[in-house]
Structure 1
Amino acid sequence: MTDDNVSRLLQELQITNQERYELVQAARSAIYSVVPDASERGLYGGFMFSGKAQFCGVFAYREHVSVEFGRGCDLDDPHGVLEGSGKLRRHIKLFSAADITGKFLELYVDAACRNSQCK
Structure 2
Amino acid sequence: MSRLMRFPTAVEHDPAVDAWMQNHPGELGAIAQRWFEVMRGCGDDVRELLHDGHPTACVGDAAFAYVNAFTAHVNVGFFLGAEMADPDRLLEGTGRFMRHVKLRPSSLVDASALTKLIEAAHLDMQVRVQAMADSDS
TM class, shorter-length: 0.7 to 0.9
Structure 1 counterpart of 2:111, from 92, 97, 101:
101
Equivalent in the alignment of 1:75 = 84
Unmatched tracts of structure 2, length 5 or more: 1-11, 131-137
Secondary structure, in 3 states, of the residue corresponding to 1:99?
coil
Equivalent in the alignment of 2:40 = 32
Aligned length: 114
Where has structure 1 moved over 3 Å in runs of 4 or more? none
CA distance in structure 1 between the aligned counterparts of 2:114 and 2:54, rounded to whole angstroms: 17
Q: 1:11 to 1:64 in 2, by over 3 A?
A: same
Q: 1:94 to 1:100 in 2, by over 3 A?
A: farther
Equivalent in the alignment of 2:17 = 6
2:107 counterpart of 1:112? no
Structure label with greater radius of gyration: 2
2:94 counterpart of 1:85? yes
Q: What TM-score, normalized to structure 1?
A: 0.83
Equivalent in the alignment of 2:54 = 46
Unmatched tracts of structure 1, length 5 or more: none
CA distance in structure 2 between the aligned counterparts of 1:22 and 1:93, rounded to whole angstroms: 14
Contact 2:17 2:55 in 1 (8 A): yes
The code of the aligned residue for 1:10 comes to M
Q: Deviations over 1:61-115 (max 9, x none)?
A: 111110111111110111111100111110011113842516x111111111122
Secondary structure, in 3 states, of the residue corresponding to 1:84?
coil
Higher relative contact order (CA 8 A, sep 6+): 1
Contact 2:90 2:114 in 1 (8 A): no
How high is the sequence identity, in percent, across the aligned residues?
Answer: 27
